[in-house]
Structure 1
Amino acid sequence: MTDTIRWGVLGAAEFARNHMARAIHAAEGAEFAALATSSPEKAKGFQAFAPGIRLHDSYEALLADPEIDAVYVPLPNHLHVEWALKALEAGKHVLVEKPLGLKAGDFDAVIARRDATGLLAAEAFMIVHHPQFQRARQLVQDGAIGDLVLVDTVFSYDNRDGGNIRNRPETGGGGLPDIGVYAIGSARFVTGQEPVTITHAGLRFENDVDVLAQITADFPGFVYSGMVSMRAAPRQSLAFHGERGVLTLTCPYNANVFDVASLRLETEAGTVVTERWPAVDQYVLQVEAFGRAVRGEEAFACPLEFSRGTQAMIDMVFAAASR
């Protein structure tokens, strides 16, 4: 394999067309080389910015392509494990949209196959590659705000389209699988801590998918409070409240799409420091980090074990809500 990672994309998903395939095309050390879709019309949206891509009319054909080193899987949630395993069996590194699994145990087969093949398999949890999260992790763990007291977050949007895969139980829909991974994973990543118990899990369901979740949990060093919803006006924020200061991310999850990525640090001395990243594309950073990990230059910031931990907390939330 050359230093350039040659990527294929399984399926012409809208998110892939608008974000990840473009990020692969733009990233250093990466080449968007092939797309698997049976729809020539859908392929046109990708060819508009990457006219040289090869088209395959099936996922299997793309996985059999010897000119592909890695694949990105943006398929509906219930297909993620199946096609991650098939990609690894075909000798391809694989980056899978979150959530990779719908239960923590779903990750185990992919982790085992990753280890057996020596290939890289990871979940596309792009936020940990953004400098605002790298900076927040450093500040919190270095004690810039003192001992943590509370982590609180909100992430919401309004999606009432009954045909959308996020609103369909058979495709692994629901707010917690879609955006709960961010609300929960961000707290785990920055603090380095794992939940002890879920103290409140208020879930509202429509058509057998969760559309609103309000969660409180005890971590070893702080209380967690989070709300995610697919039935509310768009909003997102994340705050780390310590004994000696407060650190706030005003656009933690859709950086420079929802708003400009910004970190605000308030300390007990009355000082306020703001850092902004108006030009950073976290999807491009994710692709470049994946390539460096494939080439053995650095460890990937979001290994499957970390992603499994986020799903384990989501499993705890569902279990607490059913009691």
Structure 2
Amino acid sequence: MSKVVNWGVLGAANFARQHMAPAIHGADGARFAALATSSLEKAAPFQAFAPDIEVFTDYDAMLASDSIVAVYIPLPNHLHVEWALKAIKAGKHVLCEKPIAMKADQIDALIKARDDSGLVVQEAYMILHHPQWQRAQEIVDSGEIGALRHVQGTFTFDNRADTGNIRNRPETGGGALPDIGVYTYGSTRFITGAEPTEITSAHLEYDGGIDSYAHVTGKFGGVTFSLLNSMRMANRQRMEFHGEKGVLALTAPFNANVFGEARLTVETTGGVVREERFAGVQQYKLQVENFSALVRGDRVDYPGSLEFAKGTQAMIDMVYAAAK
């Protein structure tokens, strides 16, 4: 194997502690080498599974370290562009949590910085690394369910009690669409290979200054869609792709192994049902391994791109505009 990529994590976010830092630590070809946090107390849970990590109490100090090759950014949404640009300027490859920006046009600066530097810069859109979604794309493209006509998607959970959560704070870029709309919208774009041509309805409800409920319908050319996202409803995840000959459905499409086992089913007009299971697949680990391989030059393809992220954010921007 080529040289192992040394990773630094910029910020001691709960999501980093629970998912991405362990994924970096356990990924082939990657090493969780450093953590930047203003609180040494927050570093302790990371050191529990990676005792050899170097802890920086200053973000810029970690970016200045020659030992760090790639940086993962799990900061609040409104800080993503700023710190991604700083990391690129410091010569680091960047994997930044979604949404990588709050507006589509903000991603242009990241694309330019990527192209000027030659560094790898990606949004952490981990579902495209999961074989469940790669298989779903194959099934739709194969014509097994016939011409795709409608997409039905749901991603909801209830965090109203967690008032301090950055998802519930407008000043940190909170809201259902930035947090989970990227999944229903981005996955629809991924499967259709198209961009939305019309938003026919956009019903948004607000709570404490953030959109807590969004039911949106529209069209991708000849494909209609109905997508529901909420942070004030019972926990639910499901995506369905309805064709002229059958229906493809994905269970646990976004939080595989957390919400449940990743499965897909195909039901045709004749009632034939096929189920495919993806037990235990670790999409965060796959994401880190694919990114690290891209950094090393061991692969040239990568699921998603900054341009793909910009397309999803542009769709979110369309929805906000339609809701007004």
TM-score class, shorter:
over 0.9
For residues 33-55 of structure 1, the C-alpha deviation after alignment (integer angstroms, 9 at most, x for no partner) is: 00001212111100010011001
Amino acid at match of 1:152: Q
Measure, in 2, the Cα distance between the counterparts of 1:277 and 1:299: 22
Equivalent residue, structure 1, for 2:47: 47
SS of the residue aligned with 1:284?
A: helix
For residues 95-153 of structure 1, the C-alpha deviation after alignment (integer angstroms, 9 at most, x for no partner) is: 00000110000100011000000001110000000000000011111211000111010
| 81-90 vs 266-275, greater mean Cα deviation | 266-275
| 264-273 vs 283-292, greater mean Cα deviation | 264-273
Equivalent residue, structure 1, for 2:249: 248
Measure, in 1, the Cα distance between the counterparts of 2:181 and 2:276: 26
**Cα offset for 1:164?**
1.1
For residues 67-88 of structure 1, the C-alpha deviation after alignment (integer angstroms, 9 at most, x for no partner) is: 0000000000000000000000
Amino acid at match of 1:50: A
Amino acid at match of 1:302: G
Measure, in 2, the Cα distance between the counterparts of 1:111 and 1:224: 29
Q: Determine if the alignment matches structure 1 residue 17 to structure 2 residue 31.
A: no
Amino acid at match of 1:275: E
Aligned 1:3-152 pairs, distance under 5 A: 3-152=3-152
Equivalent residue, structure 2, for 1:315: 317
Equivalent residue, structure 2, for 1:213: 214
SS of the residue aligned with 2:202?
A: strand
Amino acid at match of 1:162: T
Q: Which runs of 5+ in 1 are unaligned?
A: none
**Cα offset for 1:189?**
0.7
Measure, in 1, the Cα distance between the counterparts of 2:57 and 2:51: 17
Measure, in 2, the Cα distance between the counterparts of 1:107 and 1:267: 40
Amino acid at match of 2:277: R
**Cα offset for 1:272?**
1.0
Amino acid at match of 1:191: T
Measure, in 2, the Cα distance between the counterparts of 1:97 and 1:210: 19
Equivalent residue, structure 1, for 2:173: 172
SS of the residue aligned with 1:48?
A: helix
Measure, in 1, the Cα distance between the counterparts of 2:236 and 2:164: 23
For residues 236-280 of structure 1, the C-alpha deviation after alignment (integer angstroms, 9 at most, x for no partner) is: 100000000000001101011101000001123332110111110
SS of the residue aligned with 2:303?
A: coil
Amino acid at match of 1:276: R
Task: Tell me if structure 1 keeps the 8 A contact 2:5–2:296.
Answer: no
SS of the residue aligned with 1:227?
A: strand
Amino acid at match of 1:265: V
Equivalent residue, structure 2, for 1:302: 304
Measure, in 2, the Cα distance between the counterparts of 1:295 and 1:244: 43
Equivalent residue, structure 2, for 1:188: 189
Measure, in 1, the Cα distance between the counterparts of 2:211 and 2:318: 14
**Cα offset for 1:312?**
0.2
For residues 191-241 of structure 1, the C-alpha deviation after alignment (integer angstroms, 9 at most, x for no partner) is: 211100100000001122100000001111310110000000100100000
**Cα offset for 1:17?**
0.3
Measure, in 2, the Cα distance between the counterparts of 1:38 and 1:260: 36
Equivalent residue, structure 1, for 2:281: 280
For residues 11-44 of structure 1, the C-alpha deviation after alignment (integer angstroms, 9 at most, x for no partner) is: 1100000000000001100000000012121111
The alignment of Structure 1 onto Structure 2 pairs a total of residues equal to: 321
Task: Tell me if structure 1 keeps the 8 A contact 2:245–2:269.
Answer: yes
Q: Which runs of 4+ in 1 moved over 3 A?
A: none
Measure, in 2, the Cα distance between the counterparts of 1:37 and 1:101: 22
**Cα offset for 1:304?**
0.3
SS of the residue aligned with 2:49?
A: coil
Amino acid at match of 1:309: G
Amino acid at match of 2:8: G
Measure, in 1, the Cα distance between the counterparts of 2:270 and 2:81: 49
Task: Tell me if structure 1 keeps the 8 A contact 2:249–2:265.
Answer: yes
Q: Which runs of 5+ in 2 are unaligned?
A: none
SS of the residue aligned with 1:75?
A: coil
Q: CA RMSD in A?
A: 0.8
Measure, in 1, the Cα distance between the counterparts of 2:127 and 2:51: 29
Measure, in 2, the Cα distance between the counterparts of 1:282 and 1:155: 18
Measure, in 1, the Cα distance between the counterparts of 2:129 and 2:191: 12
TM-score w.r.t. the length of structure 2 is: 0.98
| 299-308 vs 264-273, greater mean Cα deviation | 264-273
Measure, in 2, the Cα distance between the counterparts of 1:273 and 1:187: 22
Amino acid at match of 1:85: L
